[in-house]
């Protein structure tokens, strides 16, 4: 069976070596040494100032929204994983969808201004599949209208834009380290910011509001992650370059085998150093996409419709239209991509696709 992704698991001995340390110290969670080490290594690797390792990418978004004190209307993308929208609604804000750019499938910055009202407090956008949003245009809009910017960078681990980490853009960025993501800790996520004041707020908000064992600075939640998850991250991080390299080779092979069949892919900025987090493929219509899925499934190959349906369909948001996102959501499919997908399997997958078209 071949799934859309396969979790990279380190050699078991590497993980158990960390477990032995955890057993010796008898320290399982609450800011242990592995958690500190992972945060330090991630900060250095990604080149960011503040990074908080939290329980998952959804909680990262929710804590970021709380720390930024968002309220009222929040402009966001209808084309992302559901957690982007649900976090906004969960924190009591109203998601206002602005349609996506048909090339990048990220929020279309040229459509944002007309959606801004007196109630708007922020823009929450996703770097879809790891392709950066129009970060400069969004920054100008945010400055002009005094809005906060939060990026859901769940797909953008190690993505660089114009030579620097894409995580530098916006007031806060969040990452997911879920087992299906490029870099993972089993379950996990992170909140990233360059702003010292925000970082301080995030640090206590992610730890029940604690400032020392008997003092509370304000309201907080349990956002912590454990030594067991940090250990996984410490095993996976040194392999990330290798993992990306293999995914790049697989993606290049897919590109060459699939060209000339009327299929397209979202287009990222040429100034991006990409992480090959996904291999999305756009079909001319939903009928063809469904035929291809059926053919692949018959061969025990299970791609995923990331992201389907468009988030405008959620029953807890106001009915809104986003024709570009709705069209893309109906026609897009992410093909299997992992650290050890064999060239032979890629050939098999593409042969089934071409045959079913």
Ligand X SMILES: *Cc1c(COP(=O)(O)O)cnc(C)c1O
Binding site for ligand X (CB under 6 A): 56-58, 80-81, 83-84, 126, 152, 154-155, 176, 178, 189
Helix, strand, coil percent values for the chain (each to nearest 5): 45, 15, 40
- DSSP state letters, 187-222: S-EEEEES-HHHHHHHHHHTBTTBSSTT-B-S---B
Query: Where do the H-state alpha helices sit in 68-219?
Result: 82-90, 135-145, 196-205
> Taking a C-beta distance cutoff of 8 angstroms, is the pair 189, 54 a contact?
yes
Taking residue 21's Cβ as centre, other Cβ atoms within 10 Å add up to 15
- Residues forming beta bridges with residue 304, ordered by sequence position: 334
Whichever of 88 and 301 has its CB closer to ligand X, that residue is: 88
Whichever of 38 and 353 has its CB closer to ligand X, that residue is: 38
- Residues forming beta bridges with residue 52, ordered by sequence position: 191
> Taking a C-beta distance cutoff of 8 angstroms, is the pair 329, 97 a contact?
no
Q: Shortest gap between Cβ of 344 and ligand X (angstroms)?
A: 29
Residue partners of 282: CB distance under 8 A and separation at least 6: 263, 264, 265, 266, 328, 331, 332
Whichever of 247 and 353 has its CB closer to ligand X, that residue is: 247
Q: Shortest gap between Cβ of 113 and ligand X (angstroms)?
A: 24
> Taking a C-beta distance cutoff of 8 angstroms, is the pair 222, 205 a contact?
no
Alpha-carbon distance of 10 to 245, in angstroms, equals 17
Q: Shortest gap between Cβ of 189 and ligand X (angstroms)?
A: 5
Q: Shortest gap between Cβ of 17 and ligand X (angstroms)?
A: 26
Nearest to 165 by CA among 18, 273, 39, 318: 273
Whichever of 175 and 263 has its CB closer to ligand X, that residue is: 175
Whichever of 83 and 199 has its CB closer to ligand X, that residue is: 83
Whichever of 199 and 277 has its CB closer to ligand X, that residue is: 277
Nearest to 324 by CA among 90, 27, 97: 97
Q: Shortest gap between Cβ of 16 and ligand X (angstroms)?
A: 25
Q: How far is CA 329 from CA 58, 234, 278, 303, in A?
A: 21, 35, 15, 14
Residue nearest to ligand X (CB): 57
Q: Shortest gap between Cβ of 179 and ligand X (angstroms)?
A: 9
Q: Shortest gap between Cβ of 236 and ligand X (angstroms)?
A: 15
Whichever of 22 and 150 has its CB closer to ligand X, that residue is: 150
Whichever of 27 and 90 has its CB closer to ligand X, that residue is: 90
Q: Shortest gap between Cβ of 299 and ligand X (angstroms)?
A: 26
């Amino acid at each position: 069976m071949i799934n859309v992704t396969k979790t990279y698991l380190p050699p078991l001995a590497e993980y158990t070596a960390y477990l032995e340390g955890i057993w010796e110290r008898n320290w399982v969670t609450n800011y242990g040494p592995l958690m500190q080490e992972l945060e330090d290594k991630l900060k250095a690797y990604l080149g960011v100032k503040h990074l908080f390792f939290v329980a998952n990418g959804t909680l990262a978004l929710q804590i970021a929204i709380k720390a930024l004190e968002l309220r009222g209307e929040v402009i966001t993308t209808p084309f992302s994983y559901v957690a982007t929208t649900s976090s906004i609604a969960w924190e009591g804000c109203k998601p206002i969808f602005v349609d996506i750019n048909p090339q990048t499938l990220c929020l279309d910055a040229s459509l944002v201004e007309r959606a801004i009202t007196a109630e708007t407090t922020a823009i929450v956008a996703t770097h879809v599949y790891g392709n950066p949003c129009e970060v400069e245009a969004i920054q100008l809009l945010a400055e002009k209208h005094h809005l906060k910017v939060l990026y859901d960078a769940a797909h953008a681990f190690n993505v660089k834009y114009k030579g620097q980490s894409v995580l530098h853009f916006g007031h806060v960025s969040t990452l997911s380290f879920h087992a299906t993501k490029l870099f993972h800790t089993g379950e996990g996520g992170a909140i990233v910011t360059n702003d010292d004041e925000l970082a301080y707020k995030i640090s206590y908000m992610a730890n029940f509001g604690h400032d020392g064992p008997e003092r509370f600075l304000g309201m907080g939640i349990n956002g912590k992650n454990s030594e067991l998850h940090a250990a996984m991250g410490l095993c996976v991080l040194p392999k990330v370059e290798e993992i990306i390299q293999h995914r790049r080779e697989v993606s290049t092979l897919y590109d060459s085998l699939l060209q000339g069949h009327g299929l397209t892919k979202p287009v990222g900025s040429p100034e991006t150093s990409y992480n090959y987090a996904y291999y999305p493929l756009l079909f001319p219509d939903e009928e063809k996409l469904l035929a291809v899925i059926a053919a692949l499934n018959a061969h025990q190959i299970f791609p995923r419709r990331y992201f389907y349906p468009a988030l405008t369909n959620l029953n807890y948001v106001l009915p809104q239209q986003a024709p570009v996102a709705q069209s893309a959501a109906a026609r897009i499919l992410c093909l299997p991509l992992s650290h050890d997908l064999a060239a032979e399997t890629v050939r098999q997958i593409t042969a089934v696709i071409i045959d079913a078209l």
